[in-house]
A and B are shown apart, each in its own frame.
Chain A
Amino acid sequence: MGNDLYNRIAVLRAERNLSRQDLADALGINYQTVGFLERGDYNPSLTLALDLSAYFGLPVEAIFSRKPLRPLSEAVYGDGNAEAAVKMAKRSVR
């Protein structure tokens, strides 16, 4: 198994309208490190992963995954099927 680790930090940060500096200040890390984390160029320590989890109020597995993560909207509404979610959305608009 490779060393790949995927995360949703960029999405979660954008949802909360936080800058990299805001998140970095909250976690006590350099804002550049936030960029490295978001791009997947750096895998955080367990401590930092748990700090992120606590900060966002989400379980660690909602933020990090060994497999590529589905878009958050699809994960929440799509029931595993993005096309079905789109159809449902279109029906609701009609």
Chain B
Amino acid sequence: MTSTSYSVFGVSMQQRRTRRKLVVMVYAVLLVLCAVSIAGATRYPLLYVYVSYAAMAVGMFVFGGMGQKGLLKGFENKPPRTQQMPLLEVERLRLLPKAEVEQDLSWKNDERELSRRNLAHYKAYQVVGLSGPILLVLTAWALFPKQHLLSVTTMLVMIFGLAEVLTVLVMTLPAAIILWTEPDIDLG
């Protein structure tokens, strides 16, 4: 699960309690950003871009899972590109021995880590999947504005807000679930 350096901004994340604090703090910040973006949706509609960037940065550099940095190893389970990596063409032609690519396996998720990753994605799907029916109801209401008291603009802002939260969750929730559930790590 873990990358080689298991800390964020110099703070060790070996303890599950510390990791849970980090997850809560990160989601608090993202929630505030989402709230600001939703509140200013009609005047500053492009604020959502920055929220998406923030969620992406969390996934890439704090939680991990996206790319090779952050607390968790890359979910894709692909070797990182280094200078030692052979050129793609050469690798495709199998002109170099495979062992040269696979010497350092620290990037690789083993079978338990892959099972944890898959379980986390399943759990995240349970949450994110709920947004489908909610979006359906909201859009159905927005299509028939005379049947309720809310204006179409309000309905659109609600749909926009839900889509924004959904975007943040899609980028961060599986990694957050792993960080939340994995027990304390003994690096000794």
Q: How many A-B contacts at CB < 8 Å in the complex?
A: 26
State how many angstroms separate the Cβ of A3 from the closest Cβ of chain B.
14
Residue among A35, A42, A44, A48 making CB contact with B186, cutoff 8 Å: A35
B186, A30: Cβ atoms closer than 8 Å: no
Interface presence of B105 (CB below 8 A): yes
Chain B residues in 8 Å Cβ range of A30: 1-2, 110, 112-113
A29, B186: Cβ atoms closer than 8 Å: no
Chain B residues in 8 Å Cβ range of A53: none
B: interface residue count bin: 10 to 19
B105, A33: Cβ atoms closer than 8 Å: no
Please report whether the interface of chain B is mostly helix, strand, loop or mixed according to DSSP: loop
Interface presence of A77 (CB below 8 A): no
| Proximity bits, B63-99, A CB within 8 Å = 1, else 0 | 0000000000000000000000000000000000000
| Proximity bits, A19-56, B CB within 8 Å = 1, else 0 | 00000000011101101100000101101100000000
**A48–B108 alpha-carbon span in the complex (Å):** 15
**A44–B110 alpha-carbon span in the complex (Å):** 11
